[in-house]
Amino acid sequence: MEENLLAVFNERDAEARLEVVRRNYASDVRWSDAEETVVGQGRLHEKAQALLDGPLAGLEFTQAGPVHQVANMGYLNFEVYAPGTTDVLVAGFDVALIENGVIAQLFTVVTQEPATP
């Protein structure tokens, strides 16, 4: 869960991120958020890159509490900050279902979004 957050969604180097994706996710991983569900390591990587190049450009994810686990499910809260600030811009949580030692399904729920002007 921590590597999913920090080494995928905080990683700006696409090749380093792809290496983590290939190691930690099933080849047919399903990632769902409020916008859509993408299937496969490649699509997950592409969507992460688009977020990091777009609405999350220059922002930093942090872990907001411990990882919670029950059977093959992991849960982790996150917060997103602009570097050097203490104001939470985005907050939410990830839920992952693990199969054969890798993430088979990932669900991202945003519970706080930036205020719109």
Domain containing 64 — which CATH number? Answer: 3.10.450.50
Number of domains observed in the structure of the chain: 1
Domain-located, residue 117: no
Whether the CB-CB separation of 40 and 28 falls below 8 Å is answered with: yes
pLDDT in tens, 52-87: 999 999 999 999 999 999 999 999 999 999 988 999
d(CA 85, CA 16): 26
Residue 112's CB: how many other CB atoms inside 10 A? 12
Whether the CB-CB separation of 95 and 75 falls below 8 Å is answered with: yes
The amino acid present at 5, given as its one-letter code, is: L
pLDDT in tens, 3-48: 989 999 999 999 999 999 999 999 999 999 999 999 999 999 999 9
115 Cβ contact partners less than 8 Å away, ≥ 6 residues apart: none
Domain-located, residue 67: yes
